[in-house]
């Protein structure tokens, strides 16, 4: 016997809720699931956790998705889309230099992380879960392939404009991947936007030879 109508916390009764929008609910589930998957992984996340965060019962999830796996895939798809859209946006200007683009990407990554920390956390989480749960691998590979091809275009742009040595193409690719992976993980682990930003800046500086170049002599970009 639950009091009804007054307590806003848990008064839901049987049947259709008073104001319910299918799309809205679906989105709520995805968002709730992303948080939980990011934190606890695929196996570690229970339907109850997802449902509770979304304000429904476990059964209702199955009204929108056929299985927990499908929820995960939906989260993946959306997260993937969100990130790549953002990357595409900030590199859309054709007059940008390679350097500017790299900086823009790192900047927007950092910014997205501040806006919604579950994005980066989910991606890193997914990279682990994909290796643990075969059914997730295909989705992950798709995401990975898109990321790689995005960076390929970026590097090729750098080569075209003379910023990169064509002989170093594969080296540049590897380095970029290592550093983006590293930065993403760093951001997830330290869990502190400011630290992430500083690490980003430091990494960019290092890439410019301003950090580890030996001999005590520091390089300056466009040094006068």
Partner DNA sequence: AATGAATGAGACTTCATTCAT
Partner DNA sequence: CATGAATGAAGTCTCATTCAT
List contacts with DNA (CB under 7 A): 12-22, 25, 45-48, 51, 56-60, 62-64, 66-69
State which residue, 126 or 183, has the beta carbon closest to DNA.
126
* Residue 146 is a binding residue for a copy of itself (CB under 8 A): no
Interaction residues for a copy of itself, span 19-78 (CB under 8 A): 39-41, 43-44
State which residue, 18 or 92, has the beta carbon closest to DNA.
18
Instruction: Return the one option of a copy of itself, DNA, none that residue 46 interacts with (CB less than 5 to 8 A, by type).
Output: DNA
State which residue, 27 or 96, has the beta carbon closest to a copy of itself.
96
Choose the binding region for a copy of itself from 47-55, 60-68, 75-83, 160-168 (rule: CB under 8 A).
Answer: 160-168
- The CA-atom distances, in angstroms, between 46 and each of 42, 128, 129, 183 are 8, 18, 15, 29
Residue 139, class by beta-carbon neighbours within 10 Å (0-12 exposed, 13-18 middle, 19+ buried)? buried
Instruction: Say how far apart CA 210 and CA 224 lie, in whole Å.
Output: 15
Residues at the interface with a copy of itself (CB under 8 A): 39-41, 43-44, 97-99, 102, 124-125, 127-128, 131-133, 158, 162-165, 168, 170-172, 174-175, 177-183, 185-186, 189, 195, 198-199, 201-203, 205-216, 218-222
């Amino acid at each position: 016997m639950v009091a009804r109508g007054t307590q806003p916390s848990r008064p839901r009764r049987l049947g259709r809720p008073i104001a319910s929008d299918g799309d809205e609910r679906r989105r709520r589930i995805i968002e709730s699931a992303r948080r939980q998957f990011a934190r606890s992984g695929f196996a570690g996340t229970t339907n109850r956790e997802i449902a509770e965060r979304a304000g429904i019962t476990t059964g209702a999830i199955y009204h929108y998705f056929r299985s927990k796996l499908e929820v995960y895939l939906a989260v993946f798809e959306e997260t993937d889309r969100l990130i790549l859209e953002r990357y595409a946006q900030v590199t859309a200007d054709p007059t940008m230099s390679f350097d500017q683009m790299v900086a823009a990407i790192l900047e927007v990554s950092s910014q997205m992380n501040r806006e919604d920390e579950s994005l980066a956390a989910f991606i890193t989480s997914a990279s682990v879960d994909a290796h643990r749960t075969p059914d997730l691998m295909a989705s992950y590979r798709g995401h990975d392939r898109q990321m790689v091809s995005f960076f390929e275009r970026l590097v090729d742009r750098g080569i075209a404009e003379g910023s990169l040595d064509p002989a170093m193409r594969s080296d540049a690719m590897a380095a970029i991947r290592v550093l983006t992976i590293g930065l993403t993980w760093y951001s997830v682990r330290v869990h502190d936007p400011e630290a992430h930003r500083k690490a980003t800046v430091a990494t960019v500086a290092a890439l410019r030879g301003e950090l580890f170049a030996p001999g005590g002599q520091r390089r300056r970009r466009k040094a006068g």
